């Protein structure tokens, strides 16, 4: 009787095992995807901060260049 019962239940247990494996794979993939998306979001945030800092630095450089141009123009005007 045990052998017959095992033969009957084998396809059922195989399907259950397969479904459990697939569910576990989906869970792992979901965690990996969430971790990846989190890393991408962090990089985007860092990049945005970096761009803001770069813009601020460029603004400072522009101001310094404008001041240098004015000083040069003043020297040229004073010499001529």
* Virtual torsion, Cα 43, 45, 46, 51, nearest 10 deg: 120
Q: What is the mean pLDDT of the chain?
A: 86
* Greatest alpha-carbon span in the chain: 116
Per-residue model confidence (pLDDT) at position 2:
79
Q: Is the pTM of this model over 0.95?
A: no
* Average confidence (pLDDT) over 50-57: 90
Q: How far is CA 64 from the centre of its chain?
A: 35
Average pLDDT (53-80) is 87
| Whole-number pLDDT of residue 78 | 64
Instruction: Please give the pLDDT value at position 1.
Output: 60
Considering Cα of 17, then 23, then 28, then 33, what sign does the dihedral take?
positive
């Amino acid at each position: 009787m045990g052998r017959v019962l095992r033969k009957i239940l084998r396809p059922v247990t195989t399907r259950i095992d397969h479904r459990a494996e697939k569910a576990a794979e989906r869970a792992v993939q979901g965690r990996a995807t969430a971790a990846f998306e989190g890393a991408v979001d962090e990089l985007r945030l860092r990049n945005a901060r970096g761009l803001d800092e770069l813009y601020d630095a460029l603004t400072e450089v522009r101001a310094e260049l404008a001041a240098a141009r004015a000083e040069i123009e003043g020297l040229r005007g004073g010499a001529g």
